[in-house]
Amino acid sequence: MRIALLAAAAATVVFVVVGIVAVRDDPGPAVAGTTEQVLEHDGRTRHYRVYRPAALPARPPLVVVLHGGLGTGEQAQRAYGWDALADAGGFVVAYPDGLDRAWNAGGCCGNPARTGVDDVGFLTRMIDELVRTVSIDRDRIYLTGMSNGAMMAYSMACRTSIAAAVGAVAGTLLDDCPHPSPTSVIHVHGTDDENVRYDGAPGSGVARIDGPSVPELNEFWRAADDCAPPVSTIDDRVTTLRASCRDGRAVDLVTVAGAGHRWPGAELSPLERLDPNRRPDALDATRLIWDFFAAHHR
C-alpha cells in the first residue's frame, strides 16, 4: 500500500491505588502512583492506567503509550520503562487498553477494526479527561506505540491535532491521511522485522500487515512537515536519518540493522530469554523517544 500525499458526556472513573478502590463521577484530584480508570465511550466500557509521579510541574507533559496487538496497558507499563523516565522528567503517562487487545488503526487490527470501534474518539476523550484532572499542558501531549499501537498513534496524528510529536516503534501507517496535522515524528524500526516489514511487503503475522515501506513512510512525514533534506548518521547497527522541519519540528527515522519485531530495550519475553542467538538491543527506544519528545513542543 502506498500513501497518498494529497494527501462528550461526563465519564465515570474508577481509581485503584494500593488496593483501595473509589468510584466517583468526578475524578477529583490526581493521585501519585498508578491508578486504573474506566471511561464509558460509544456504548463501551474502556479502561486505562495512569502513572503520575509524586513531583510534577504545574502543567506537566503527557505521554500516551499504546500497546501492540495482543498486548495490554499493564503489559506496556511493565515492559517499556516509561514510569522511571516520568519520575525523572516530571511527566504523566497513560496506558490505555485496546478492546480485545487491539486497536482500530486504519483497517488493522482484530475485532476493533472488523467492528469499527471508535478508538480515536476514546483516546481523545481520555486525553481531555487527563487535561482536566491533572492540568496537562496541551502543547506537550505525545503519542507513542508498538506495532498496532504505533499504527494507532499515526491514526491519531492523521485524524486529530492533539499530538505535539509521535514516536512509532515497529509500526506503519494504514489510515488514510490526506491532511495530517503538523507533528514531529520519530520512527524506530528493525530491518529484520517480519511482522511489519521494513520494505513494505506483506508481513508474516496473522494480520498480514501490508503498508508502505519504512523509507516511504519517512518521506511522507518529511513532506507533511515541510522538512529540509535529512542528515544521516551511523552508530554501529543504528542508522539515524534526521530532518529539521518548519516551526522547529523534526522527523527522525532510526533504523536498527538486524533487529526484529520488538521495542528495543524492552523487557524480554520468556522465548526471547531462551534464544541463544538473540543479539543485545542496540538502543533504548524509550529513552530515545522521550529525549525526542522533550525537545519538541507544539
Q: 55, 56, 65, 14: which is closest to 35 by C-alpha?
A: 14
Predicted TM-score (pTM) of the model is 0.89
Give φ, ψ of 46 to 5 degrees.
Answer: -115, 150
Q: Which three cell numbers stand for residue 89?
A: 522528567
Whether residue 229 contacts residue 243, with contact meaning beta carbons closer than 8 Å, is answered with yes
Residues 6+ apart with CB under 8 A from 24: 12, 13, 15
pLDDT at 78: 97
pLDDT at 275: 78
Buried-state track 158-184, b at ≥16 Cβ within 10 A, e below 16: bbbebbbbbbbbbbbbbbebeebbebb
- Tell me the average confidence (pLDDT) per consecutive run of 10 residues in the chain, 298 residues long: 38 36 40 93 97 96 97 98 97 98 94 96 98 96 98 97 98 94 96 96 86 97 98 97 97 97 91 79 96 96
pLDDT at 20: 30
pLDDT at 30: 56
Q: Which three cell numbers stand for residue 201?
A: 511487503
Residues 6+ apart with CB under 8 A from 255: 189, 190, 191, 198, 214, 238, 239, 240, 241
Q: 41, 37, 50: which is closest to 92 by C-alpha?
A: 50
Q: Say how far apart CA 240 and CA 226 lie, in whole Å.
A: 19
Q: Where are the alpha helices (DSSP H) in 90-244?
A: 110-115, 119-134, 148-159, 214-224
Q: Say how far apart CA 107 and CA 151 lie, in whole Å.
A: 10
Q: Say how far apart CA 127 and CA 283 lie, in whole Å.
A: 29
